[in-house]
Amino acid sequence: MVRKIVYGLATSLSMFAAFAVSVASYVYVYQGDTPEELLK
């Protein structure tokens, strides 16, 4: 019983980690143009 809970928790954390990395990659790749104030 405990093993099922631990396995389910580990699977959930793995899915969350993969989701977080994919969202971060998407935001990094598709960021807009740099504002002029930052280029000076």
Q: What is the pLDDT of residues 1-40, one digit of tens each?
A: 999 999 999 999 999 999 988 888 776 777 677 777 777 6
pLDDT reported for residue 40: 67
Coil vs helix vs strand at 28? helix
pLDDT reported for residue 38: 72
pLDDT in tens, 26-35: 767 776 777 7
Dihedral pair phi/psi, residue 22, rounded to 5°: -65, -40
Cα separation, 21 vs 27, in Å, equals 10
pLDDT reported for residue 26: 73
Coil vs helix vs strand at 14? helix
Dihedral pair phi/psi, residue 23, rounded to 5°: -65, -45
